[in-house]
Amino acid sequence: MSNIVDPLVERIGARIRAERDRRHWTLAELAEESGVSRAMIHRIERGESSPSAVILGRLSAAFRLSVATLIDPEPVDERVRRAQEAPRWHDPETGYVRRQVSGPAFPAEVAEIRLPAGAEVPYPAAAFAFHRQIIWVLEGHLTFHEGDAVHELDPGDTVELGPPTACVFANSTERDCRYAVVLVRGEAP
């Protein structure tokens, strides 16, 4: 086992701990809200484990925050964000790679996603509450399950998400799929 610590994994863990502390939640309460085990949350908060896309989606839903907020929580003063400086998060389970295009101070969140061939990433409905999103396929083919609706999307195709429902991003092809997610925050109750 390597002793090298990924700074992004540490930052995600610190952000999750800060959000839990801000709400005065115990590990057990966050586990109950998110459906993620206390042991896994503890490992993530300590920077010992990188969360999968599914776990990150569940935690963001529990906090009613976007995934981008957990990945890239600190505003940057500079308006230019170099590609190599943008936070890149890699899902250890699926190989999914998410690169934050916009910074946290920008009013819309923009992310570029690479979904490997054969990968599937589900998100709970709560991950989409208080957000408006559009998915824009840039390369490859994406099968997007939005509740009971299934959208087959090719390069240039978009889908604007409707009311919050469980969603699955799936790539059943033999090539990577690259797509953009543009999210605008709505009003929380």
> Is a pLDDT exceeding 60 seen at residue 5?
no
For residues 54-65, average pLDDT: 86
- Greater confidence, 131 or 114? 114
> Rounded to two decimals, what is the model's pTM?
0.76
Domain boundaries, the chain: 7-71, 83-185
Query: Given this model, what pLDDT does residue 188 score?
Result: 45
Query: Given this model, what pLDDT does residue 126 score?
Result: 80
pLDDT in tens, 19-56: 999 999 999 999 999 999 999 999 999 988 888 888 88
Q: Which CATH superfamily is domain 7-71 in?
A: lambda repressor-like DNA-binding domains (1.10.260.40)
Return the CATH fold of 83-185: Jelly Rolls (2.60.120)
Query: Given this model, what pLDDT does residue 170 score?
Result: 98
pLDDT in tens, 66-89: 787 787 656 556 677 778 878 888
The backbone torsions φ and ψ at residue 38, rounded to the nearest 5 degrees and listed phi first, read -60, -40
For residues 106-133, average pLDDT: 88
Query: Given this model, what pLDDT does residue 77 score?
Result: 63
> Is a pLDDT exceeding 50 seen at residue 164?
yes
| Whole-angstrom Cα Rg for the chain | 16
> Is a pLDDT exceeding 60 seen at residue 2?
no
The backbone torsions φ and ψ at residue 41, rounded to the nearest 5 degrees and listed phi first, read -60, -45
Query: Given this model, what pLDDT does residue 36 score?
Result: 92
How many whole angstroms from its chain centre is CA 4?
A: 23
> Is a pLDDT exceeding 50 seen at residue 189?
no
Q: Can 7-71 and 83-185 be said to share one CATH topology?
A: no
Compute the distance between CA of residue 15 and CA of residue 116 in angstroms, rounded to an integer.
Answer: 27
Q: Residue 90 class from Cβ within 10 Å (0-12 exposed, 13-18 middle, 19+ buried)? A: middle
User: Which DSSP category does 172 fall into?
Assistant: -
For residue 23, the one-letter residue type is R
